Amino acid sequence: MSTRCDWFRDAKYGILFHYLYSKDATAQFDVERFVEQVVQTGAGYVMWTLGQNSGQFCAPNNTYERLAGYKIGARCSQRDLPAEIADALHKRGIRFMLYL
């Protein structure tokens, strides 16, 4: 019997990244280079952290910043790095999971 989670078992292994947000690092992050390195590992999925316990995140979230009392762009990237990575991985048949 097939389930919606069979892809996870079939992937055999993946890669987990604890990404610590930095405005400069996020702006300069080379998505294509990263994805090519993932492809070389043979991993079937990537799990990526949106943020750590700092309250800073590598994707835009104006609602979070507004409700938390921050200026827009103060705690969250204006570049949607996870979406860019997910799109590039998808083109290569690699799944993407976002972890918070």
Quickly state the pLDDT bin for 100 (edges 50, 70, 90).
confident
Buried b (16+ CB within 10 A) or exposed e, 44-55: bbbebbbbeeee
Residue 81 and residue 58 in contact, taking contact as beta carbons nearer than 8 Å: yes
CB of 76 closer than 8 Å to CB of 60: yes
pLDDT band at 94 (very low <50, low <70, confident <90, very high): very high
Q: How long is the chain? A: 100
What is the average per-residue pLDDT within 56-82? 95
Query: Cβ distance 21 to 58 under 8 Å?
Result: yes
The whole-number pLDDT of residue 72 equals 94
pLDDT, tens only, 13-22: 999 999 989 9
pTM assigned to the model: 0.91
Query: 11: exposed, middle or buried (C-beta count within 10 Å: 0-12, 13-18, 19+)?
Result: middle
